[in-house]
Structure 1
């Protein structure tokens, strides 16, 4: 297989911009060169990476898998270019990190992978629980740091944080839903639709807050703590949902397609961040972990 680093960079740019023209602008290369690179990648891998449509491109299921590997490659090369020196490689100790379920599933793995490559002698212990309990552990000094949804923090007088990712919300629909042809949805278009509620990591509260803009609550058709359950139900037309773009995937496990539409209204964002107890003096491993997640954000 003959794949170059340059082709991988172009692929990531197009995937993130959802457009060949915007991706070529992002990397400062002609559109034809980016198009040739994508075609070469598809030939070399033997799979279709993008669906082409008049408004741009969308990743296929295989494209999503390739994107994850591509980002890992870019991260590894960045580590080498940054010169992972002797001092980093020999740093020792341990750090305890609190996380919430959505963070574990959609944000944590790349951070941990990069940190372990940089600091193989530091032991990372992950504690996963609900947001309120992670806050309790953080304030009590039982964990060093937390990576969680910081837009929902309660004990803000005792906790400092830095936002790492801000994710907009989208309406998820089956591709054959009557509203799938509408370019920009209004929440009023969805008011009488059956809703699939995700009871995970306070996402249900987010949806209820959005629907509180109306005079009556949403018609909850199903309530589940399974993200894949939400995808399957939406993909088979059992209802719609509103969730952050962070957790969007265009396929259910059974292969049912899901589309995400941007609502016309300004909706609350879901902010993922790293948090710590205020006025805490961090250990060296905790400081190095914070630096790693900040670099990941950049």
Structure 2
């Protein structure tokens, strides 16, 4: 039994007609008829008497209508109470982020949190991962949104992964590797490569290059994701990047292709971190709830 079925049942009971109820709840008559039939099967009871004139509640239908109105009223009351709590809640929340995460996650998380808690003041500290960790452990910030792959203070921090982002090879259009049925790390290593250094990406890259017997042909290192896009799209070199950073075009409008590497299974793990052990500030729980709701 679902809340939708209950809403549909109430509409039919009040209007006495499938066609009128279908217009009210904005679904087709066939969908509404099926929903009522499934509800009657679930309850093992006939809720309506059908006739040419419409739908009339049976005795069991009247009993269920009273319960249905109570259920709907309870749900609406719960929603109102929660929304009232969110909008009345006041406080401060300090979030720590690293540079790469700030570019791809921060705006969405802050927008959703401030819609739910408009009276909460939010401030953001952007810095390198090790310093964000230091601030979290010392209690100087409330929660961190960062790459979790390289965390050092795991015993002092509690974490929750939001995204496991796989790595893929970025190529310009018409590159010969695009004709391969399968591309390997060795294939990529033989090509001129552009390395993104922002947010410890070079450290992460070294972990998957270790499986090769020879060093990759890295011809340029940069802290700018946009520079990587432009250079790849223009044919200057290739790059291996996590999917969270991929966009199919550069700032100049040139196409960037992305292909999986069959022997690269590493992921870039992005998520939340907060201090372990001590009681969390109420605003951290609120933030975790909002973020979790958007990343199921």
TM-score by structure 2 length? 0.71
Structure 1 segments of 4 or more deviating over 4 A? 81-84
1:91 to 78, 89, 92: 89
Provide the residue aligned with 1:189 in structure 2.
Answer: 187
Provide the residue aligned with 1:46 in structure 2.
Answer: none
Find the residue that maps to 2:249 and give its secondary structure. coil
Output one character per residue of 1:30-50: Cα deviation in whole Å (capped at 9) or x when no partner: xxxxxxxxxxxxxxxxxxxxx
Q: Please list, as runs of the form range in 1=range in 2, the aligned pairs for 1:112-131 lying within 5 A after superposition.
A: 112-131=110-129
Say if 1:174 and 1:180, in contact at 8 Å, map to a contact too. no
CA distance in 1, matches of 2:295, 2:183: 30
Provide the residue aligned with 1:244 in structure 2.
Answer: 242
2:168 to 140, 149, 170: 170
CA distance in 2, matches of 1:191, 1:97: 38
Q: 1:208 Cα shift?
A: 1.9
Provide the residue aligned with 1:283 in structure 2.
Answer: 281
RMSD of aligned residue pairs (Cα, Å): 1.4
In structure 2, stretches of 5+ residues that fail to align are 1-77
1:295 and 2:293 are equivalent in the alignment: yes
Output one character per residue of 1:191-225: Cα deviation in whole Å (capped at 9) or x when no partner: 21111010100111112222221122211111110
Q: Please list, as runs of the form range in 1=range in 2, the aligned pairs for 1:215-230 lying within 5 A after superposition.
A: 215-230=213-228
Find the residue that maps to 2:205 and give its secondary structure. helix
Say if 1:92 and 1:122, in contact at 8 Å, map to a contact too. yes
CA distance in 2, matches of 1:266, 1:222: 22
Say if 2:157 and 2:274, in contact at 8 Å, map to a contact too. yes
Q: 1:285 Cα shift?
A: 1.3
CA distance in 1, matches of 2:83, 2:189: 56
CA distance in 2, matches of 1:240, 1:114: 35
Provide the residue aligned with 1:62 in structure 2.
Answer: none
Provide the residue aligned with 1:179 in structure 2.
Answer: 177
Find the residue that maps to 1:281 and give its secondary structure. coil
1:107 to 71, 96, 105: 105
CA distance in 2, matches of 1:193, 1:139: 42
Q: 1:82 Cα shift?
A: 5.9
Q: 1:183 Cα shift?
A: 3.4
CA distance in 2, matches of 1:183, 1:242: 18
Q: Give the number of the structure whose alpha-carbon radius of gyration is greater.
A: 2
Find the residue that maps to 1:168 and give its secondary structure. strand
Q: Please list, as runs of the form range in 1=range in 2, the aligned pairs for 1:1-298 lying within 5 A after superposition.
A: 85-298=83-296
CA distance in 2, matches of 1:88, 1:97: 19
CA distance in 2, matches of 1:213, 1:142: 39
TM-score by structure 1 length? 0.71
Say if 1:208 and 1:217, in contact at 8 Å, map to a contact too. no
CA distance in 2, matches of 1:101, 1:207: 17
Provide the residue aligned with 1:40 in structure 2.
Answer: none
CA distance in 2, matches of 1:116, 1:82: 18
CA distance in 2, matches of 1:118, 1:126: 18
Output one character per residue of 1:68-97: Cα deviation in whole Å (capped at 9) or x when no partner: xxxxxxxxxxxxx96561111010000111
CA distance in 2, matches of 1:138, 1:283: 13
Q: 1:161 Cα shift?
A: 0.3
Q: 1:133 Cα shift?
A: 0.5
Number of aligned residue pairs: 218
